[in-house]
Structure 1
Amino acid sequence: MVGMRDVAREAGVSTSTVSLVVNGNGYVSDAMAERVSQAMKRLNYVPNELARNLSRNQTNLVGVIVPTIRHPFFATLTASLQRSLYEQGMRAVLCSTADVDQDVSQYVDMLRRHAMDGIIMGAHAVYPVDYWSSIDRPIVAFDRFLGDTIPFVGSDHTQGGRLAADVFVHTGVHHVVEIGGPRTRYQTAKGVRSISLGSIQINGHTTFPPIRYHLAFEQALEQAGIRCDYIEIENVAQMDQFRDAAHQAFEQYEDLDAIVAPDLGAAFCVQEAIRRGKAIPEDLQIIAYDGTYVSDLAGLTLTRIQQDFDGIANALARRLLEAIPGRTYHPVSSSQQQCSTALSQNSSQVPYSGTNELIPMSLKLGESTRESNR
C-alpha cells in the first residue's frame, strides 16, 4: 500500500511537505505542490480520509435523525438535506427511528465520542430539555423544541395554518375534517403556559412546534363559524393508516365538504371521494399540507400548503456548520442567503430563543379547491 513516505521519496521532498499538500493546512510553493501532486498520480496514492479527519478532530459526518423515510415529507426533506450537506463537504448518516426501531441515544453516544461532527434532530423524543443541553456538542433541531440552547429550524406553521383556513373561509365551506398525527405528542415538556387544541389541554410548551399549524387553522375556522373535526393517524410510518383515515372521514361525517391532510392522506381522500361519486371541488374541497411529489400524483393537481424543503435543508446545514468549530457555511446560491426568516416571539407561540428560524410557507392553488368568493 502506497503511503506518504513513498510519495515523498518519489517527489524528492520530505513527508511533512507531502502532508501539507494533502491536508492543505500550510504554505507550499506552487512548484512544490505540483511535484507532490504528480508523484501522487504516478503512484496512484489515495489519501487516508479517516486519518486526515481524525487529525483535524473532524469526521465530516452528520447524524440526521427522522421518524421515518416512508413518509413523503421526510423522504423529500432527507433528499434535500443530503444535497445541502454534500455541498458543504459533509455526509449524512441517516437514523430513521420508526423504520428500524433505533434509539436516538445511540446517535447521541456517537456524537459524544466524536464519531460524528453534529446531529440534526427531527424525530419525536421524550427526553427532558436538559438532556440535550448536557451533551455540549453541535445539535440543531428540526421542528422540535429541545431547549433554549439548541438552535431550531422549522416551517412557519402558523402561516401555513392560516393559508389553509383562508382558502376554506373564502370558498364557503361548512364542515372541515382535519387528518393528522397523534395529538398526545403535543404535550411532552413541563412549562408554565396552558393552551387549548380542541379537546386537548396543553400545559406548558410543547416539543412539537407544528402544533402551531393546527392552532392557527382551527382558530381561524372557529372565528368564521365553520365546524372542524379531527381524525388522528397514530403512526405516520404506516401508510395504510392514511387510507383508513380517509375512509373514516367519509363514514363518520356525511356532511363534510372540505378536508385538509398531509399529502398522502389528501391523495387517499381524492380516491375515496371519487369512489363515492363526490365531485371535486364542487362537492368536496381538499388541501394537501406539505407539497411533496405525492400532491401531484392524486389524479388531479391538489391545492397544497407548500413547505420549502430546500430552504429548510439549507438553514439546517448552515446552523449546524455555524456550531461546529472550524467550519464555515458557504452558500452555493444567493437564494440560500435569504432562505429563512427570524422567528417572531409573541405570546401565542411556544417560547424559543433568538437563534431560531422559521422558513416561510406558500399556497399553491390546484384543481381540488374552488375559486374564492371574495
Structure 2
Amino acid sequence: MVGMRDVAKAAGVSLSTVSLVVNNTGYVSADMRAKVESAMRQLNYIPNELARNLYRNRTNTIGVIMPTIAHPFFSTLTAHLQREFAARDLKTLLCSTADTDKGESEYIDMLQRHMMDGIIMAAHTEHPADYWTSIHRPIVAFDRTLGEGVPVVRSDHEQGGRLIARQLIDSGARHVVLVGGPRSQFAEGTTFPTIRYHLTVERLLAEAGIACDYVEAGTVADIAAHEATACAIFEQYPDVDAIVGSDVVASVALQEASRRGIEVPADLQVIAYDGTLMAETAGKRLTAIRQDFPAIAAALAVRMDSQIAADGGPASPSKNDSASDVDTQPTPEEVIPVALIPGETTR
C-alpha cells in the first residue's frame, strides 16, 4: 500500500511537507504543493481519512437526536439536516429515541469520547440543565432549552400563533379546538418553545371572545394517539367549527369530517401546524403554518460550525457560507420565521 513516505520520496520533499499538503494545514509553497500532488497522482495515493481526521481531531460526523422519524415533521427536518451537513462534507449519525431501545446517553458518551464532532439535540430530555452544560462539547438544541450556554434554534411559534388566531378571528370562527402534547409541558420553566403557539392562540381568541378548548394527544412519538384524538374531537365537541393541530392531526380531522358529511371549510376550518408534504396530500390542501425547514437546518449547521470551532477544531467549510458565518459568534437563540400558507380548508 502506498503511504506518505512513498509520496515524499517520489516528490523529493520531506514527510512533514506531504503531511501539510494532505491535511491542508500550515504553509506550503505552490511549487512544493505541485510536486506533492503530482507524486500523489502518479502513485495513485489515497489519503487515509481516519488518520487524517485523527490528526485534525475531527470525525466529520454529527449526531442528530430526534424523538422519532415516524412523525412527518421530524423526518422532514432530518432530511434537510442531512442535506445541509452533506454540503459541508459531514456525515450524519441519526438517533431516534422513541424508535430504538437506546436513548441519547449512548450518543453523549460517543461525543465525550470524541467519536463524533457534535450533537444536534431535538428530542425531549429529562436531564437537568447542568447535565448538558457540564458536557463541554459541541451541542446545539432545536426547539428546546437545554441550559445556559447551549445555543438554540427554533421557529417563531409566537408568530405562528398570531397568524392562526388572525385567520380564525377574521373568518368568524366560534369554537376552536387546539390539539397538542401533554398540558404538563406548559408548566413554568418548560423546555418546550412549541407551546408558545398554543398559548398565543388561546390568549388572542379569549380576547376576541371566541371559545377555545385544548385537547391533549399524547407525546409527539405517539402517532396513533394523535390520530385517535383527531377523530374523538367530533364526539367530544359537536359544535366545533375549527381544529388546529399538527399535520397528522389536521389530516385525520379532515378525513373524519368527510366521513361525517361535514363540509370543509364551510362548516369546519382545519389548520395544520408544520407544513410538511402531508399538508398537501390530505385529500384537500391544508391551510398550514409552514416551518422553514431549509432555514432551520442551515441555522443549526452554522451554530454547529461555531461550536466546533470554539471547541478547538476547524469549522467545516460550506459552499453556501462565507468565512464570516463561522468567525462571528451567533446569538444564543435564533428564531426562524414561519408563514401561513393558504389552502382549501379555511374560509
TM-score, with structure 2 as normaliser = 0.92
| Structure 2 residue corresponding to 1:218, chosen from 202, 216, 220 | 202
Q: For residue 163 of structure 1, what is the aligned residue in structure 2?
A: 163
**1:369 is matched with which residue?**
346
Whether the 8 Å CA contact 1:318–1:329 is kept in 2: the answer is: no
Q: 1:122 to 1:247 in 2, by over 3 A?
A: same
Tell me how many residue pairs correspond in the alignment: 339
Counterpart-to-counterpart distance in 1, 2:46 and 2:296: 35
Conserved in 1, the CA contact under 8 Å of 2:185 and 2:195? no
Deviation at 1:12, TM superposition (A): 3.4
Deviations 1:57-85 (A, max 9, x none): 11121111110111111111111111222
Q: Output the amino acid matched with 1:327.
A: P
Q: Residues of 2 paired with 1:333 and 1:140: CA distance?
A: 20
Q: Which amino acid letter does the alignment assign opposite residue 273 of structure 1?
A: A
Supply the AA of the counterpart residue of 2:144. Answer: R
Q: Which residue of 1 aligns with 2:176?
A: 176
Secondary structure, counterpart of 2:98 in structure 1: helix
Q: How far apart, in 2, do the equivalents of 1:135 and 1:209 lie?
A: 23
Which whole-Å CA distance do the structure 1 matches of 2:321 and 2:134 have between them? 36
Q: What secondary structure, in the 3-state scheme, does the structure 2 residue paired with 1:95 have?
A: strand
Residue of structure 1 in register with 2:314 after alignment: 327
Structure 2 counterparts to residues 13-52 of structure 1, below 5 A: 13-52=13-52
Q: Secondary structure at the match of 1:100?
A: coil
Task: Provide the C-alpha distance between the structure 2 equivalents of 1:52 and 1:328, rounded to a whole number of angstroms.
Answer: 15
1:243 aligned residue: 227
Tell me the amino acid that sits aligned with residue 255 of structure 1: D
d(CA) in 1 for partners of 2:343 and 2:316? 37
Counterpart of 2:291 in structure 1 is 307
Query: What SS does structure 2 have at the residue aligned with 1:369?
Result: coil
Shift of 1:111: 1.3
| DSSP-derived class of the 2:270 partner | strand
Structure 1 residue 9: Cα displacement: 3.0
Equivalent-residue separation in structure 2 for 1:128 and 1:71 (angstroms): 26
1:217-296 aligned within 5 A: 217-296=201-280
> Residue 169 of structure 1: SS of its match in structure 2?
helix
CA RMSD of superposed structures (Å):
2.1
Query: What does the per-residue CA deviation read over 1:299-354, in whole Å, with 9 as the maximum and x for residues that have no partner?
Result: 1111110111111111111112111134346664489x99xxxxxxxxxxxxxx95
* Structure 1 unmatched ranges of 5 or more: 187-201, 339-352
Q: Give me the whole-angstrom Cα distance separating, in 1, the residues matched to 2:235 and 2:136.
A: 51
Deviation of residue 264 (structure 1)?
1.4
The alignment partner of 2:148 has SS state of: coil
CA 1:224–1:243 in 2, change beyond 3 Å: closer, same or farther? same
Deviates more, 1:234-243 or 1:249-258: 234-243
If the length of structure 1 is used for normalisation, what is the TM-score? 0.85
Taking a change above 3 Å as real, the CA distance of residues 354 and 322 of structure 1, as seen in their structure-2 partners, is closer
Which letter maps to 1:274? Answer: S
CA contact (8 A) 2:218 2:226 kept: no
Deviations 1:222-248 (A, max 9, x none): 111111122222233233323212211
Distance in 1 of aligned mates of 2:33 and 2:316: 27
Further displaced range: 323-332 or 144-153? 323-332
Please give the alpha-carbon distance, in whole angstroms, between the structure 1 residues aligned to 2:319 and 2:285.
31
Structure 1 stretch 86-95 or stretch 161-170: which is displaced more?
A: 86-95
Find the residue that maps to 1:125 and give its secondary structure: coil
Output the amino acid matched with 1:367.
E
Q: In structure 2, how many angstroms separate the alpha carbons of the residues matched to 1:295 and 1:89? A: 32
Q: Counterpart amino acid of 1:281?
A: P
> Given that residues 176 and 260 in structure 1 are in contact (C-alpha distance below 8 angstroms), is that contact kept between their aligned partners in structure 2?
yes
Question: Who is 1:62 aligned against?
Answer: 62
Instruction: Decide whether the 8 Å contact of 1:322 with 1:329 is kept in 2.
Output: no
Compute the displacement of 1:289 (Å): 0.3
**Pairing of 1:175-194 with structure 2 (within 5 A):** 175-186=175-186
- The code of the aligned residue for 1:165 comes to A
Identity within the alignment, %: 56
1:356 is matched with which residue: 333, 342, 346? Answer: 333
| Structure 1, 261-270 or 28-37: larger mean CA deviation | 28-37
Q: Look up the equivalent residue of 1:139 and give its one-letter code.
A: I
Q: Contact 2:89/2:316 (CA < 8 Å) preserved in 1? A: no
Distance verdict in 2 for CA 1:329–1:216, change over 3 Å:
farther
Instruction: Measure how far apart 1:106 and its partner are.
Output: 1.3
CA contact (8 A) 1:85 1:317 kept: yes
Quick one: structure 1 residues 40 and 354, their matched pair in 2 at CA, closer, same or farther if it must change by over 3 Å? Answer: closer
